[in-house]
Amino acid sequence: MGWFSQDIATMDDLFQHTLEDIYYAEHQIEKALPEMIRKASDPELKKGFQTHLKQTKGHIKRLDQAFKKLKLKPRGTKCPAIEGIIEEANEIAGEVSDKVVLNAALIGAAQAVEHYEITRYGTLLAWSKALGRKDVGRLFQANLKEEKATDKKLNGIAKRKINKKAVARKPKQANKLQQQRMQDVMAQATTGVPTL
């Protein structure tokens, strides 16, 4: 069932689809967080990611409860948005060689994930109220509150120290392999381009 497919005919269908979307997203986040924990070199950031992994497991449990209250089988539906956010985070993290700058990149990636989750839980909360399902709305509200708190903590760590440390880093001299790669890229980019 896609966002604009014929399978979504009613508000209940849309609500269920969005619930399945965030369920899938939370499971993908649960899989991605251990790598972020491993890559973080700042102790406070590492601890924050560890805390969020525990919270994510709790978010999944609440979503399981929501499915149960709605008399639905817990299941996820593939979410290209969260996959794209996580893929981009992995690509960026793979390109950053300085561990201090990497911490800043990890925070940026984590906040992109948080903002996605905040939008989904906010939407589900509003729709649960509109559909008269305050029972599941309370579960979404609890997850939303934790997502916002995590985003605020990440923002605080970034502003207080990580961004300042990353900005103060001076680029290290590129090794010969990196220089050769850059020369190869430039040569490929200029092949066939007439000189003036």
Q: What is the DSSP string of 115-154?
A: HHHHHHHHHHHHHHHHTT-HHHHHHHHHHHHHHHHHHHHH
Asked if residue 1 belongs to a domain, the reply is no
What's the chain's Rg over C-alpha atoms? 21
Asked if residue 138 belongs to a domain, the reply is yes
Asked if residue 128 belongs to a domain, the reply is yes
Q: Which domain range does residue 84 map to?
A: 11-190
Task: Determine the pLDDT at residue 173.
Answer: 43
Joined together, the tokens standing for residue 177 give 């392999």
Asked if residue 40 belongs to a domain, the reply is yes
Sequential pLDDT tens for the chain (196 residues): 444 555 889 999 999 999 999 999 999 999 999 999 999 999 999 999 999 999 999 999 999 999 999 999 999 999 999 999 999 988 888 888 899 999 999 999 999 999 999 999 999 999 999 999 999 999 999 999 999 999 999 999 999 999 999 999 877 644 444 555 656 665 655 455 444 4
Asked if residue 67 belongs to a domain, the reply is yes
Report the CATH number that the domain containing residue 180 is assigned in CATH: 1.20.1260.10
Asked if residue 35 belongs to a domain, the reply is yes
The total of structural domains in the chain comes to 1
DSSP H/E element including 69: helix 43-69
Model pTM? 0.82
Asked if residue 26 belongs to a domain, the reply is yes
Asked if residue 5 belongs to a domain, the reply is no
